[in-house]
Every structure is written in C-alpha cells, then in structure tokens.
Chain A
Amino acid sequence: MKKILTVPIRDEDIDGLRAGDVIYLTGTIATGRDDVHRRVVAEGMQSPFDLRGGVIFHAGPIVRRTPAGNELVAVGPTSSVRMEAFQAGFIEKTGVRVIIGKGGMGPATAQACRQFKAVHCVAMGGCAVSAASQVEAIQDCFWPELGMPECMWVLRVREFGPLVVSIDAHGGDLFAATRADIAGRREACQGPIVDSVKNYMVVD
C-alpha cells in the first residue's frame, strides 16, 4: 500500500519514517535551491512562504508562461549536496520537515534532521515529466528576480513520488551507507586495473 503523507507534516509522521522507506506527499510544497538557501541562511532573509511543518524541494522547474497563466512543463530534483552548507541552518530557521532532492547530503544535515525532526528524501532524478504530472497547480512564485530555476515556486501536489527516505530522524542515512560500502570495495575494484597498467610507462 502506498504510504502517503499530507502536508503539514507532524512530529509523529517523521518519527515513523526510516531510511529506505518509500513515501508519497500530498499538499503544498515549495521549491528552493542554492539561492533560496543562501538568502535565508547567509543573508538572513525571511522565507517568503511559511515552511513550518512544510516541504522544501531542491528543484528548478521549466515553467511556460501562457495567456492562461503559468504552466508547469517539467520539474525534478537537483543535487542536494550543493545545499549542504546551508541546510542545517535552513531547517532550524524555517521549521521545514521534509527536504526532497537527489543524492545524499552531509553530516550537518543528518545532525539537523535528528535534532529538529526532519527527513531528507530523494525523488527520481531526470524524471521531470512524470513529476510534473503529479503537480496540480502552481500556487505562487516568490523572488522571481532569482530567475526561473532559482526562485521559489509554491506547488500543490498530489501523491507526489515515489520518494525514498535517504536520511531519517533516527540516524539512518542511505547514501552514507552506500559511500561506506564503496570505500570498502574500492581497492578490490581498482587494484587489479592499477596493476595492469604498471608497465605502460615502458617504451613500446
């Protein structure tokens, strides 16, 4: 059965999530990436949209401006690691509960997820048309001067997902586990190749 969470997200919703779980979201979410995070954390600006119990989506959509209004053409996650420098401060300042992006994040975010009860999830990268089809409407657009990818789009979504929980509020971290796995395996994978090119410097 699909596990669907509704925004605003409550403490008990977060408590019940573990890294590796697959969830879907229904409600209102906001996009924010490098510039939004920098404004809120480094420049001390107030998030123009109330994110308490909310969802921030590391994403920059393609929006077509039509006479009938803004049409969402494509939207998908961007690499979350770019926001690592600001994410913990962003969680603390805004009270956001769910971060959606792509790939892993660092230890500061994982720590903030534990401290403030939040989770990081990954959406399918490069699946932008599928994701756009789960967005019912563009509700708002803040900070347009940042440009289409960087400004804050407020989206009403329905069963948005699948999202894989990558960092939970209990210390679970999917990508940290993968990185540790790779570190353990790496020498066995690259060693034989390093050996095989040992005599490549010898004149042929």
Chain B
Amino acid sequence: MTKDGARTILADVMERFLGVACKRLPDDVYAKLRECAQGETSPLQRAVYESYFENLRLAQQLDRPCCQDTGLLHFYIRCGADFPYIGVVESALGQAVARATASAPLRPNAVDFFTERNTGDNTGERMPWLHWDILPEGNQLEICVYFAGAGCSLPGRAQVFKPSDGYGAVVRYVFDAVSGLALNACPPLIVGVGLGHNIENAGVLSKMACLRPLGSANPHPRGAKLERDLLAGLNSLGVGAQGLPGNRIAMEVHVESSARHTATIAAAVNVSCYTHRRGFITFREDMTYSQSSYKGVEL
C-alpha cells in the first residue's frame, strides 16, 4: 500500500471512530455508571442519573454527541517501531478531526493563542494533541482517543513537593483538587493521579491514569491500595453526581507513576467527567483495524 493509501484509510476510519466515540460511552464506563447509580438513594441523585441515562439513550437514537462540549481531541498513541506508516499518522489524525467536526458534528473549540480566533475545525497550533510511545517491538498502531472537555480540564493541577512532605502531601493534594473545582466537572469522575519528579512528567502520567481501562489496578500493591483508599475516602465526602449531595463523587481513582528524583515528589491530578469519551482502536500493518471499546459497533 502507498503512503497516501494508508493515510486515506486512517483518516476515514478515524473520522468514523470519532463520530461514534462522541455519541456513546465506552462499555466499561457505561457499566460503571450503572453501578454508581445503584449506590445512590436520594430522590435528587436518582433524578440526576435518570437524566444521564435518558440523555445517553436520546444521543443514540438521534445520532448526536451526548455532551455539547466535545472538547479538544487528544490521541495517546502506542506505535510499534515496525509499523510501516508512522509518517502519515499525524496528518491523517488532523484530517480526521477537521472532517469529524463537520460530519459528527463536533463543537469547534480550538482557539489559537495571540490571534484569539476560533479555528472552526478543532485543529490549530499543535492540535489535535498527540502523545507518542514508540514500542521497540511490533508492527501495530494503537490509538487511544480522548475528548478533553473544559469542565473536566479546569480542575487539573500539578505540584512538586519536597521529600519531607511525603506521600501524605499527595493524598491532601488529591482531596484539594476533587473537593474544589471538580465539583463542577460532572461527577461521578475518573480521577487520574500521576506521581513523578516534575510537573510535566507527573501531568502526562495523570492523563495516562485517567485513560486506563476501568477495573484495572496499579501494578504495585501499595499503589493499588492507595487507589482503593482514595476512592473510598473521596466517596465519603458526601457528594454525588453533578456535585450535589450524594455518595459517589468518583467512579474510580487510578494512580500511575514513574521513578522520581531522590529529592522531589511531583503529583498531578487530572479528572474526567461521567461522559468519559475515550476509545481504543488498533490498526495492523495492512491497515485493517479492530476496536475494543464499543462491543458490537461497526464503523
């Protein structure tokens, strides 16, 4: 296949994938949302969840984005070093975003700095946002797409602590973020915590934590315990869906880490709203593909 041929396929398939991913929740998120609804008993919380599920049903029926804030498009890419079309990926994803903005349709949210003009098609300076991991082995292209809305981006934060502040500072920092602006971020939330040594490395890890499949746990027993404890602790704050009184402010807490500098502890918190629009799709070297986020959906 020529490079142009591969670019055309990638752009077409991704345009359709974006069209699906903005209109429904991934299977794991939908199931978790059902579980959270079971944990709420007050009439107000029940009414909120009824609205959530009714809206998701209508979005399917009318083929429309479930939330008007379709965000900015982030692509977290894991590309095998032997995938033959690595050079077309960036341009194809840009095309897919611009075309999906018209066809899905998505709300045009991208504004370039200094000109302060909305670009009209969700592309712009360094947008869509691409994060690359090159895998030393393999010939596949794995893409995780995420629709980064404003309400769920606003509570994000990162800070570097001194070792004497210890892990306790991280715990308090997570509570700061979630009990502050995150109330407005359409709970129940997925809370991603990144632990590293400076702000951008912790920030990227906090995003990867958000994107991890639900039900997965940090590989270290202490990390996994911290995830469970933070979830239980946050969910005893007395806040539920939409930041109104209730029992479930969070669906899950995920922690991702890298080694840290011996003299710093960096923490970042990223939250995702209940419309956690995140989808996984994999392309093989012949440009055939499969997606695992939406069972039974053909693109």
A, B co-complexed? yes
Beyond A178-B239, A194-B171, A194-B172, whether A127 also contacts B51 by CB under 8 A is yes
Name the one of A76, A133, A186 contacting B69, with C-beta atoms under 8 angstroms: A76
Q: Does A78 contact B (CB under 8 A)?
A: yes
Count of chain A to chain B residue pairs whose CB atoms are closer than 8 Å in the complex: 175
Q: Does A128 contact B (CB under 8 A)?
A: yes
Whether the pair B105, A197 counts as a contact (CB closer than 8 A) is no
Q: How large is the interface on B (under 10, 10 to 19, 20 to 34, 35 or more residues)?
A: 35 or more
Q: Which of A130, A146, A200 has the most CB of B within 10 A?
A: A130
Q: How large is the interface on A (under 10, 10 to 19, 20 to 34, 35 or more residues)?
A: 35 or more
Whether the pair A175, B68 counts as a contact (CB closer than 8 A) is no
Report B-chain residues with C-beta under 8 Å of the C-beta of A61: 68, 107
Binary flags per residue of A111-151, CB closer than 8 Å to B gives 1, else 0: 00000000000101111111011000000000000111110
Whether the pair B118, A148 counts as a contact (CB closer than 8 A) is yes
Instruction: Tell me which residues from 157 to 190 in chain A have a Cβ below 8 Å from any Cβ of chain B.
Output: 162, 164, 174-175, 178-179, 181-182, 185-186, 188-190
Q: Does A79 contact B (CB under 8 A)?
A: yes
Report A-chain residues with C-beta under 8 Å of the C-beta of B67: 74, 76, 125-128
User: CA A196 – CA B222 in complex, angstroms?
Assistant: 10
Q: Does B184 contact A (CB under 8 A)?
A: yes
A62 nearest CB neighbor, chain B only: B107
Q: Does B109 contact A (CB under 8 A)?
A: yes
Whether the pair A193, B233 counts as a contact (CB closer than 8 A) is yes
Beyond A126-B67, A189-B236, whether A197 also contacts B168 by CB under 8 A is yes
A201 nearest CB neighbor, chain B only: B166
Q: Does A108 contact B (CB under 8 A)?
A: no
User: CA A200 – CA B169 in complex, angstroms?
Assistant: 12
Binary flags per residue of B99-135, CB closer than 8 Å to A gives 1, else 0: 0000001111101000001101000000000000000
User: CA A103 – CA B118 in complex, angstroms?
Assistant: 26
Shortest distance from the beta carbon of A43 to any chain B beta carbon, whole Å = 13
Binary flags per residue of B50-82, CB closer than 8 Å to A gives 1, else 0: 011011001100101111111000000000000
Whether the pair A128, B66 counts as a contact (CB closer than 8 A) is yes
Beyond A128-B55, A129-B58, whether A200 also contacts B166 by CB under 8 A is yes
User: CA A175 – CA B229 in complex, angstroms?
Assistant: 26
Shortest distance from the beta carbon of A4 to any chain B beta carbon, whole Å = 17
Shortest distance from the beta carbon of B167 to any chain A beta carbon, whole Å = 4
Whether the pair A127, B229 counts as a contact (CB closer than 8 A) is no
Whether the pair A175, B171 counts as a contact (CB closer than 8 A) is no
Q: Does A51 contact B (CB under 8 A)?
A: no
Shortest distance from the beta carbon of B202 to any chain A beta carbon, whole Å = 17
Whether the pair B58, A133 counts as a contact (CB closer than 8 A) is yes
Whether the pair A81, B184 counts as a contact (CB closer than 8 A) is yes
Q: Does A192 contact B (CB under 8 A)?
A: yes
Name the one of B54, B58, B68, B237 contacting A62, with C-beta atoms under 8 angstroms: B68
Binary flags per residue of B171-189, CB closer than 8 Å to A gives 1, else 0: 1100100010101111000
Whether the pair B65, A147 counts as a contact (CB closer than 8 A) is no
Report B-chain residues with C-beta under 8 Å of the C-beta of A60: 68-69, 107
B187 nearest CB neighbor, chain A only: A125
Whether the pair B222, A200 counts as a contact (CB closer than 8 A) is yes
Q: Does B238 contact A (CB under 8 A)?
A: yes
User: CA A11 – CA B168 in complex, angstroms?
Assistant: 51
Binary flags per residue of B200-241, CB closer than 8 Å to A gives 1, else 0: 000000000000000000000010011001100110111100
Q: Does A45 contact B (CB under 8 A)?
A: no
A to B CB contacts below 8 Å, 7 in the list: A60-B107, A62-B65, A73-B65, A75-B68, A103-B184, A128-B67, A130-B51
